[in-house]
Amino acid sequence: MKQSSFSISDLKKIDEVIWEIPKSYRSDMKVPARVFATENMLRDTLKDRSLWQIVNVATLPGISRYALAMPDIHEGYGFPVGGVAAMSVKDGVISPGGIGYDINCGVRLLMSELSFKEAEPLLDKLADYLYKEIPSGVGRGGRLKLNDRELDLVLEKGAERLAELGYGTKEDLERIESRGRLEGADATKVSNRAKARGRDQLGTMGAGNHFVEVGRVEKIFSPVDAEKFGLFENQVTILIHTGSRGLGHQIATDYIRLMMQAMQKYGISLPDRELACAPFSSKEGQDYFSAMRAGANFAWANRQLITWEVRESWKKAGLKGELKILYDVAHNIAKVEQYNNEEVVVHRKGATRAFPGEAVLIPGSMGTASYVLVGTEGAMRESFGSSCHGAGREMSRTEARRKIPGKPLKEKLEKEGIHIRAGSFSGLAEEAPEAYKNVDEVVEVVEKTGIAKRVARLKPIAVVKG
């Protein structure tokens, strides 16, 4: 189907920061598409295919209420990044493009007992140890090389298995979404090729936009929620952002190919083949869901081992006290949940769960800020318990490399007091602050929609990248 050309006039303004593309916009839409954005952000969104993609999501069989685009929306594979959609368990579909290639890419925030003033003399040393202890970059292997049985245990038990091996605690598990383990994961539904790609990748960061960032709590917005989470002003924190590495990518590749073949069998016709899907209740749908859960478990295990590596680096750098997990959230995942007495499969692609009282972690770019939010009842009514997941790209990686020289960027960030450890200048340029939307504006939109509220703002003081 030919790509639609949008203008602001095609969208109906529902509220100050809520816009709707009506179901009548295109004859194949089954529900409207909603976008959370300011008018200026919306105009920027018109530059890529993301609105066209969210309209296509609204055509999927069994979709409930509306397709949603968060304020960090940008073009992705099939679904836009920042897309949320809920499909009926009874007659809806599951689409790997609605979860993404990096299954359970997510973020974990660790909290120290130290203030910035106490930790500052050792931060450069800490950055060195983090870069040394946490393997990063494309294809880099980790400290564990798992045999078939050990890998299957990780796929089916997630972070729980790493705790059993001594790389975490029961308290860690209590502070992870789904306790770091999705029930129903089936290692036999993961291909040998996917397993081969993941066998030695536990405890590795990868490349792209993945990072480990040391920060400080720059501002508290909600003292009550901050105290509940264990945050205080000027506290040193560490944010981990990575996912399921090559294993998750291969699971997505395998099942997208399978579903492209299966759609004809089920009489499914779509405007974009990247939305390849199968009925959730079908063998193909259930096989993918079991494999996806295994990939999600692998990602939680990966962040758990990285947490152990961060704690080791902390001790080696001579820093005192414990590093406790505030929370760990997935932002590329599908989960069965219930809204308005309907059981649905919620696809979150570059979107974070925002359940009432739960922490919502929003990483920004390495030169700006990250946020801790708290989910609200509003999210349960308006967004299937979902929020944005980050600042959202404004430039492609190719454009960023072309426009932003890496070496001067590193020098600029270090002048601002941010210790940088990166594998290459080009990789650094891809993730420059200028390549991303303004995270403060993105978070403000989220707060105005009533789906989450600000708790704390974190300022980066050291960043380690592949």
Q: Kindly list the catalytic residues.
A: 389
First to last CA, the chain: 38
Pick from 446, 463, 456, 461: which is nearest to 72 by CA? 446
CA separation, residue 223 to residues 227, 308, 354, 449 (Å): 6, 29, 19, 21
d(CA 270, CA 278): 11
CA separation, residue 351 to residues 10, 186, 333, 395, 399 (Å): 25, 24, 9, 19, 24
284: left (phi over 0), alpha (psi -120 to 50) or beta: alpha
Enumerate the β-bridge partners of residue 420: 463
d(CA 466, CA 427): 7
Q: How many angstroms separate the most distant Cα atoms in the chain?
A: 64
| Runs of H (alpha helix) within 134-222 | 148-157, 159-164, 170-174, 192-198
3-state secondary structure of 196: helix
Give the side-chain half-sphere CA count within 13 A for 61.
Answer: 19
Which residues are within 8 A (CB) of 233 and not within 5 positions of it... i.e. 6 or more apart?
Answer: 217, 218, 219, 220
The two three-digit tokens of residue 306, written as one number: 């990285």
Pick from 45, 308, 2: which is nearest to 21 by CA? 45
d(CA 21, CA 220): 36
CA separation, residue 388 to residues 81, 229, 352, 434 (Å): 10, 20, 6, 19
Q: Which residue type occupies 355? A: F
The two three-digit tokens of residue 387, written as one number: 């929020």
Position of tokens 């997510």? 106
